[in-house]
Amino acid sequence: MNPGARIVILGKQGAGKGTQAVRLSRHYVVPHVSTGDTFRAAVRSGSEFGHKARKFLDAGELVPDEIVIGMVRERLTRDDTTHRGFILDGFPRTVPQAEDLMQLLQPTGVDLVINIEIDTSSVLRRLASRRVCSDCGANYSVGDNPPRVRGICDVCGGEVVQRDDDTESAIRRRLELYERETAPLIEWFEARGLLATLEGTGSPDEVTDRLVSEVDRRKQRALPGC
Ligand code: ADP
Ligand code: ZN
C-alpha cells in the first residue's frame, strides 16, 4: 500500500484549482491546504494578521513571501500532513516559495505537481460566475454549479458570496502576477521531473478523473519493486 498523497496544484485563477483540490483531498484523505482560504479566514476573523492580509488580497497583490512561507511551514509540520500528506493549493506561487517548500519537505518531497491548464478567455468567464462559501471555501458557479439552495452552501450551510477580489481590476492584477511570478514555476518543477500538465476543460468530474489517474500512475511508479 502507498497511502496518502503529497500533491501541489498549480494553475491560473479560475483553472479549477480549489474545486479539484477539495476533491483530491477527499479522494486521498489528506488535508486540503489552501493559502487563499487561510488568508480569507484570517480576514473574516478580524485579527490583526487578517487586517494586514486584506489589503493585499483585495488589490489582487501577492502577500509577501516571508508571511506566506511562515504560515505554510507551520501548517505542513503538523502531524496530519507529515504522516499522510496534503493537497497544496495556492502555494508555491513564486520561485523563492518553491525553493523553501522543497527544503521544508526533505527528504520525502512531493509526489507530483499538477499544472491545470486553461485558456484565458475561459478563465474570465469562470471568474465572473464564481461564488464561494464564506465559511468552508467550497466553490460554486452561478451558471453550471449553483448551490442547491440559492446563497446557501451545500456542504456547511454557510453563506455563498462573490469573493471581494473577483473584481475586474483585481482579476487583471492576479493574472498579471500569475504570468510574471507563478508561470515560471512550471519550468522549475518540470526540470525536477515533478510536473504533470493536465487539461482543465470539461466537467469537474472529468477533470478529477484525469487528475486521479495521473496521480495514481505516478504513485505506482514510485512504489519499490515496480
Ligand atoms: P486565486 O488563485 O483566484 O488568486 P487564491 O485563493 O489562491 O486565489 O489566493 C487569493 C489571494 O491570496 C491572492 O491573490 C494573494 O493575495 C493571496 N495568496 C494566496 N496564496 C499566496 C501565496 N502563495 N503567496 C502570496 N500570496 C498568496
Ligand atoms: Zn460551506
pLDDT tens-digit readout, 135-166: 888 889 998 889 999 999 999 999 999 998 99
> Whole-model pTM?
0.91
Residue 165 identity: D
Burial category of 1 from C-beta neighbours within 10 Å (exposed 0-12, middle 13-18, buried 19 and up): exposed
Q: What is the C-alpha separation between 136 and 129, in angstroms, rounded?
A: 18
154 CA distance to ligand 2 middle (Å): 7
Q: What is the C-alpha separation between 115 and 210, in angstroms, rounded?
A: 12
Long-range contact pairs involving 136-142 (C-beta distance under 8 Å, separation at least 24):
137/18, 137/22, 137/34, 137/37, 137/40, 138/22, 139/18, 139/19, 139/22
195 CA distance to ligand 1 middle (Å): 21
Element (H, E) at 139: strand 139-141
Q: Give catalytic residues, as residue numbers.
A: 17, 93, 130, 163, 174
For the CA of 57, the closest atom of ligand 1 is: 16
Count of structural domains within the chain: 1
For atom 3 of ligand 1, the residue with the nearest CA is 13
pLDDT digits (tens, 9 = 90+) for 108-121: 889 999 999 999 88
- For residue 101, pLDDT over 50 is answered with yes
pLDDT digits (tens, 9 = 90+) for 39-78: 998 998 999 999 999 999 999 999 999 999 999 999 999 9
Residue 76 identity: L
pLDDT at 108: 85
Please name which of 54, 17, 5 lies closest in space to residue 165, comparing C-alpha atoms: 54
- For residue 224, pLDDT over 90 is answered with no
If one residue of 93, 97, 116 were mutated to test the ligand 1 pocket, choosing by the most ligand atoms within 8 A of its CB, it would be 93
Q: What is the C-alpha separation between 211 and 133, in angstroms, rounded?
A: 24
- For residue 181, pLDDT over 80 is answered with yes
Residue 113 within any structural domain of the chain: yes
Print the domain residue range for 47.
1-117+200-205
Residue 213 within any structural domain of the chain: no
Q: What is the dihedral of CA 213, 219, 225, 226, to 10 degrees?
A: 30
pLDDT digits (tens, 9 = 90+) for 13-32: 989 999 999 999 999 999 99
107 CA distance to ligand 2 middle (Å): 35
Residue 177 within any structural domain of the chain: no
Sheet holding 130-133, edge to edge: 139-141, 130-133, 160-161
Residue 108 within any structural domain of the chain: yes
- For residue 106, pLDDT over 60 is answered with yes
For the CA of 127, the closest atom of ligand 1 is: 3
Name the pLDDT band for 183 (thresholds 50, 70, 90): very high
Name the pLDDT band for 225 (thresholds 50, 70, 90): low
Residue 195 within any structural domain of the chain: no
Whether a cis peptide bond, with omega within 30° of 0, leads into 204 is no
Residue 104 within any structural domain of the chain: yes
Least confident of 47-56, 91-100, 217-226: 217-226
CATH number of the domain at 4, please. 3.40.50.300
For the CA of 89, the closest atom of ligand 1 is: 7
Q: What is the dihedral of CA 189, 187, 22, 176, to 10 degrees?
A: 140
- For residue 1, pLDDT over 60 is answered with no
Residue 61 within any structural domain of the chain: yes
pLDDT at 137: 83
Residue 12 within any structural domain of the chain: yes
160 CA distance to ligand 2 middle (Å): 7
- Report residue 20 as a C-alpha cell: 479539484
